[in-house]
Structure 1
Amino acid sequence: MTRQDLSSLDCDVLIVGGGPAGLSLAASLGQAGLTATVLELQSAEQLAQPAADGREIALTHPSVALLQRLGSWQRLDAHDIGLLRAAQVHDGPVGGAQPLHLHAGGTGVEQLGWIVPNHALRRSAWEVASTSPGVRLLTGARVLQVGVQAGHAEVQYLPAGAPEGASQRLRAALVVAADSRFSSARRQLGIGAAMTDFGRTVIVCRMRCEHPHDQVAHECFGYERTLAILPLPDDVVDGAPLCSAVVTADSAQAQALLALPAQEFAERVAEQFGHRLGAMQLLGERHAYPLVAVYAHRFTGPRCALLGDAAVGMHPVTAHGYNLGLAGVASLSAALADARARGLDIGAPDVLQRYARAHHLHAWPIFQGTNAIVRLYTDTRRLPRLARRAVLGAALRLPPLQAAIVSQLTGRAPAWPVRLPAGG
Structure 2
Amino acid sequence: MDKVDVAIIGAGPVGLSLVNLLAGSGLALAVIEQQPTGRLSSPAFDGREIALTHASRSWLEQAGIWQQLDPAAIWPLRQASVRDRHLPFALDVDNQRDPAGAPLGWLVSNWRIRQAAWEAASQHEGWQLHAGVGLEGLQRQADGWLLRLADGRQLHAATVIAADSRFSSSRRLLGVGARSRDHGTAMVVCNMRIEKDHQQVAWEWFGDGCTRALLPLQPGVASAVVTLPMARAQALAGLDEQAFGKQVQALFQSRWGGMQACSSAHLYPMVTVYADRFAGPGFALAGDAAVGMHPVTAHGFNFGLRSAGVLARALRGSGGPAARDAALARYAREHRLATAPLFTATGVVAGLFADSRWPARLARGGAMALASSMPPFRQLLRSHLTG
What is the aligned partner in structure 1 of residue 179 from structure 2?
Answer: 194
**Structure 1 SS opposite 2:360:** helix
Contiguous gaps of at least 5 residues in structure 1: 1-7, 160-166, 235-240, 412-424
The 1:43/1:347 distance shift into structure 2, 3 A limit, reads farther
2:142 pairs with one of 133, 146, 150: 150
Alignment of 1:397 with 2:384, yes or no, is no
TM-score, normalising length: structure 1? 0.88
Q: Which residue of 1 aligns with 2:197?
A: 212
Runs (5+) with no aligned partner, structure 2: none
Q: How far 1:68 moved relative to its partner?
A: 1.1
- TM-score if structure 2 supplies the norm length? 0.96
Give the match for residue 214 of structure 2. 229
Residues 25-424 of structure 1 aligned to structure 2 (within 5 Å): 25-92=18-85, 97-108=88-99, 109-159=101-151, 167-234=152-219, 241-339=220-318, 343-345=319-321, 348-411=324-387
Preserved contact between residue 27 and residue 135 of structure 1 (Cα < 8 Å): no
Letter matched to residue 140 of structure 1: G
CA distance in 1, matches of 2:373, 2:296: 23
In the aligned structure 2, how far is the partner of 1:69 from the partner of 1:48?
21
Cα distance in 2 between the residues matched to 1:286 and 1:88? 24
What SS is found at the alignment partner of 1:105?
Answer: coil
Q: Distance in 2 between matches of 1:43 and 1:262?
A: 31
Query: What is the CA distance between 1:271 and its match in structure 2?
Result: 2.9
Q: Aligned partners of 1:135, 1:363: CA distance in 2, in Å?
A: 30
Deviation at 1:150, TM superposition (A): 2.1
More deviation, 38-47/69-78: 69-78
Asked if structure 1 preserves the Cα contact closer than 8 Å seen for 2:245 and 2:259, the reply is yes
Q: CA deviation at 1:389?
A: 0.6
Counterpart amino acid of 1:379?
A: D
Distance, in Å, in 2 between the alignment partners of 1:90 and 1:147 is 50
Q: Identity, % of aligned pairs?
A: 45
Q: In 2, Cα distance between the equivalents of 1:311 and 1:88?
A: 29
Aligned to 1:420: none
- Deviation (angstroms), 1:259: 3.1
Question: Does residue 15 of structure 2 align to residue 22 of structure 1?
Answer: yes
Q: Distance in 2 between matches of 1:379 and 1:158?
A: 44
Q: Which contiguous aligned blocks of 4+ residues in structure 1 show a shift greater than 6 angstroms?
A: none
Cα displacement (A) at 1:245: 0.5
Distance in 2, Cα, partners of 1:147 & 1:221: 47
1:4 maps to which residue?
none
1:391 match: secondary structure? helix
What is the root-mean-square deviation in Å for CA atoms of aligned residues?
Answer: 1.6
Which whole-Å CA distance do the structure 1 matches of 2:144 and 2:7 have between them? 11
1:88 deviation in Å? 0.6
Distance 2:222 2:381 in 1: 23
- 1:158-205 deviations in Å (ceiling 9; x for gaps): 45xxxxxxx111112100111111111100110000001101011001
The code of the aligned residue for 1:28 comes to L
**What SS class does the counterpart of residue 285 from structure 1 fall into?**
coil
Contact 2:6 2:28 in 1 (8 A): yes
Q: Out of 264-273 and 33-42, give the one that drifted further.
A: 264-273
Q: Tell whether the 8 Å contact from 2:139 to 2:146 is kept in structure 1 after alignment.
A: yes
CA distance in structure 1 between the aligned counterparts of 2:199 and 2:340, rounded to whole angstroms: 33
Q: CA deviation at 1:76?
A: 1.1
